[in-house]
Amino acid sequence: MRNQSGEILRRVAQGESFQVTNHGVIAALIVPPETNMFEELVSKGQVRLATKPLSSLQSLKPHKSRISSEEVIADLRGKW
């Protein structure tokens, strides 16, 4: 797994399954998903389909904020 994770994941995507062992004991199974995960998330209402094409984002105009990114981050972090 450590040295060949990319190759293993490509093979799983093609339908193979793998057993991952830890000191000879099976610790995990890597198997292809039974369904299309995107379609499953859409059916559960966890993903919304786009209402406009991606190219429509090009018409968005940049907006200059009144506060800096540093101030936004400081506000999100709060006081310790």
CB-CB neighbours of 80 under 10 Å = 3
Position 11 scores a pLDDT of 94
CB-CB contact of 32 with 15 (8 Å): yes
Position 46 scores a pLDDT of 94
DSSP 73: H
Cα–Cα distance for residue pair 53/56, rounded to 1 Å: 6
Query: Tell me, what amino acid is at 29?
Result: L
User: HSE of 35 in the Cβ direction (CA atoms, 13 Å)?
Assistant: 7
Q: Mean pLDDT throughout 26-35? A: 90
Position 80 scores a pLDDT of 66
| Mean pLDDT, the chain, whole residue set | 90
Does the predicted model carry a pTM greater than 0.85? no
Does 17 have pLDDT greater than 90?
A: yes
Query: Tell me, what amino acid is at 5?
Result: S
For the chain, the structural domain boundaries read 1-47
**pLDDT confidence bin for 71, thresholds 50/70/90:** very high
Q: What are phi and psi of 79, to 5 degrees?
A: -95, 140
